[in-house]
Amino acid sequence: MTRWAWILLAALAVAASAALGWQQIGLSSRGNWFETNDAAVLAQGRGIYDRYCASCHGTKLEGQSDWTKRLPSGRMPAPPHDATGHTWHHPSDVLFGIVKEGVGKYAPAGYESDMPAFGGTLSDAQIRAVLAYIRSTWPREVQQRHEARERAARGG
């Protein structure tokens, strides 16, 4: 084999291992990672969103108006789930935990929130489906940034 062929092979090997590392979190069966292109799951997630989430987070995932400012009650409004919000800042386990158990676990003691816990209403699969639907509405660039945070949360 010529020298160039070896260099080409080495480059291919590096590219292949990078692709494999990427795939590890792309697998929907890993933890609560909820990426999917399955149209049935996304349709199910959309139905759940419309029924259980849209009243606060908005039918277009736009959140409550002035969502960065506290309500008269002292609590925070519902943030958007579209690319303008910070839902995509959080790794999948955190998002899953917030929907299942509410924000309490991730907030300082005594923090009061209007975000309900859905653990008694939605199954784990339904929670992942609604998160998959939310993710599917993000532009590719935001999905990639979310994936980078997911990888960081899993220790790279």
Q: Please count the helices (runs of H) and the strands (runs of E) in the chain.
A: 6, 0
Beta carbons of 32 and 94 less than 8 angstroms apart: no
Smallest gap from residue 40 Cβ to ligand HEC (A): 18
* Closest to ligand HEC by CB, 74 or 155: 74
**DSSP output for 38-49:** -HHHHHHHHHHI
Q: How far is the CB of 156 from ligand HEC (least distance, A)?
A: 23
- What is the C-alpha to C-alpha distance for residues 123 and 118, in angstroms, rounded to an integer? 8
Residues that bind ligand HEC (CB under 6 A): 52-53, 55-57, 75-79, 85-87, 90, 95, 98-99, 103, 113-116, 118, 130
Q: Is 23 or 112 the residue whose CB approaches ligand HEC more closely?
A: 112
**What minimum distance in Å lies between the beta carbon of 8 and ligand HEC?**
45
**Strand runs (DSSP E) across 7-129, as ranges?**
none
CB of 56 to ligand HEC, least distance (A): 3
Q: Measuring CA to CA, which residue among 104, 131, 127, 126 is closest to residue 115? A: 104
Nearer to ligand HEC, 53 or 156 (CB): 53
